[in-house]
Amino acid sequence: MAPPGVGGPALRAPSDYQAERGAAVGPCRWCHLPRLPYNRGVAPRDLSQPLREIVYSVAPGDAGRRLDIWLQGIVTWRSRSDLQRRIVEGRVLVDGQPARKGAKLQPGQEVRVMVDGPATEDVPTDQIPIRVIHEDQSLIVIDKAPGTVVHPVGRHVMDTIVNALHVRHHSGEGVPGDQPPMIVHRLDRDTSGVLAFAKDETARKRLGADFEARRVDKSYLAIVSGSVADDRGTIDLPIGPDVDADIKLKVACVADGKPSRTDFEIVQRSELLSLVRCHPRTGRQHQLRVHLAAIGHPILCDRLYGDPTAVTVAMLDPTRADPDRVLLDRQALHAERLAINHPMTGEPMSFEAALPPDLASLVAEP
């Protein structure tokens, strides 16, 4: 679901909830902004509005820590130097008063960080494409454009699909549903295709349970390097953390990993490329990307598991008149189909998204 935070005068500070619950309010595991509990009758932050301030409460275990170092650990979308500058300029308040960078924190203190703009470049939400495949009171399904971030995470605070959906919900243009859409599954930034959101808490819980229990059916199209020999097959390789990688989120096929299975079939092949339809039977992080790389056919332009180099005309045919023209510069992965049961009626539903122009043009190359 859309990760909540604190923003705007209508919402209470996490310290208020700490007094009620007797525990500090930690950051969201997705966007690292503060969490507010739903069982207190308070709605999540309106992600159609810019984040103006964030309020944290110091936990007992953080007693004695320096203010600037403590902030760096929880405000991951700003650098330490940026946070130090904010402290010097008086835009970080401890119990309502400006504080020094080296101030030692005490349990229960309220630390308020003033945010003067989004953490990323200003991307107007009307420039984030929302192509609706289906929408009703409980569900919205879109065709996600490549290069768009699904939800606020890290440095992406206002430039995400969730932000754009919140703006759309609050626009008053007859959008069905009483609540702004909530996340039930995700796609990587450069992956395009079918993406579903719940529009109320009941739908979110039911859809989330169906995804968790693998009661949904998904298929993806991937353009991979090389000519895959088998017309169809199964990749049954366990996936776990890549302990040798410098990038924390990278995973690998490892003997002690979690069971992971992908069925595949060839749609089209040439000497240089193959268009593969993949059916993930488990839901591991980066599963398709890792599995295809493991059999020697990484997805084109995959920055983590393959060759990130952009595909140019020269790579396919060096005799062409426009050899430097770029055909593709993002990972060639597309969520083609999603089949679910409607969260309220139980009706079987299937949604499809055609290959976007960049991938369609590449497979159409002679």
Strand residue runs (E) in 215-363: 217-225, 232-236, 239-241, 251-253, 261-269, 273-280, 311-312, 326-328, 333-341, 348-352
The ranges of the chain annotated as CATH 3.10.290.10 are 14-114
- Residue 116: what pLDDT? 56
Average pLDDT value for residue range 106-114: 88
Residue 30 has pLDDT above 80, yes or no: no
Which residue among 46, 143, 188, 358 is the active-site one? 188
For the domain with range 219-334, which CATH number is right: 3.30.1330.10, 3.30.2350.10, 3.40.1310.30, 3.40.50.1100? 3.30.2350.10
- Is residue 95 part of the annotated active site? The answer reads no
Query: How many CA within 13 A on the CB side of residue 209?
Result: 8
For the domain with range 14-114, which CATH number is right: 3.40.30.10, 3.10.290.10, 3.40.140.10, 3.40.309.10? 3.10.290.10
Provide, rounded to the nearest whole percent, the portion of the chain with pLDDT above 70.
Answer: 78
Q: Which of 42-51, 93-102, 189-198 has the lowest mean pLDDT?
A: 42-51
Could you read off the pLDDT of 304-316 as tens digits, one per residue? 999 999 999 999 9
- Residue 120: what pLDDT? 43
- Residue 279: what pLDDT? 98
Nearest to 194 by CA among 119, 131, 258, 116: 131
The ranges of the chain annotated as CATH 3.30.2350.10 are 219-334
- Residue 125: what pLDDT? 65
The H or E element spanning position 92 is strand 92-94
Cβ neighbors of 330 (< 8 A, separation 6 or more) are: 146, 147, 190, 301, 358
Cβ neighbors of 73 (< 8 A, separation 6 or more) are: none
Q: What is the DSSP letter of 39?
A: G
